Amino acid sequence: MPYGVIVYGAQNSTLRSIIMLDYPEQPVALAPGEAALRLGPLTVAPSIEQAKTLIFKATNVAPPSGRCGLVVGGKVVGILNADPAIDSTPAGTLVPSDVAAIGDLYADGAFQRRYAVVQVGTGRVTGVIYADPATSHAPNLVASETLNVGDTVQLQVKPPAKL
């Protein structure tokens, strides 16, 4: 019957891996800053959500998603899963974010995304703004690196829900 180990970041409880073992005393190498929960015996490997629940029960800290933007020169150039408390890369800076996207700007601790402001009805781009992607949900904003004032796009605006 297999056993398991859930490896997580000791500082912030980020899930790092789920390892299945052949026997309960099997050694598991941990990197500096990692902690582990031993499980077993198991009939199946725990899911990611089950592993996060077990981490929470052990640490009383809700595990973050682990999603990070790779920032170089103030711009997001990649998205990956990492724990900035443990992981690093010479390619840039790892910044935790559930909303960052490639092309976003990052300055003063906040992500900003380029949006075209589109006039409803005509589809004409009337302006370009940078705004927080976590809070910018207006139906006339279109995330775009290439749309400029004067361009035309087809908006897909949903009608308001009937009560």
Q: What confidence tens digit (pLDDT) does each residue in 23-41 have?
A: 999 999 999 999 999 999 9
- In this prediction, residue 159 carries a pLDDT of 61
The pTM for the full model equals: 0.77
111 token code pair: 């992500």
- In this prediction, residue 151 carries a pLDDT of 94
DSSP state of 43: S
The count of other CB atoms within 10 Å of the CB of residue 27 is 7
Q: CA–CA separation, 124 vs 153, rounded Å?
A: 6
Q: What's the pLDDT band for 157 if we cut at 50, 70, 90?
A: low
Mean pLDDT of 99-125: 93
Positive or negative, the CA dihedral 12, 13, 15, 17 is positive
- In this prediction, residue 155 carries a pLDDT of 75
77 within 8 A of 68, measured Cβ to Cβ: no
SS3 106: strand
- In this prediction, residue 158 carries a pLDDT of 62
Mean pLDDT value across the chain: 92
Q: CA–CA separation, 151 vs 121, rounded Å?
A: 14
The alpha carbon torsion through 136, 141, 144, 146 (nearest 10 deg) reads -140
Q: CA–CA separation, 64 vs 55, rounded Å?
A: 11
- In this prediction, residue 138 carries a pLDDT of 86
- In this prediction, residue 130 carries a pLDDT of 93
Mean pLDDT of 111-117: 94
99 within 8 A of 111, measured Cβ to Cβ: yes
Task: Tell whether the model's pLDDT for residue 79 goes beyond 70.
Answer: yes
At 94, phi and psi to the nearest 5? -90, 125
- In this prediction, residue 67 carries a pLDDT of 96
Mean pLDDT of 108-134: 93
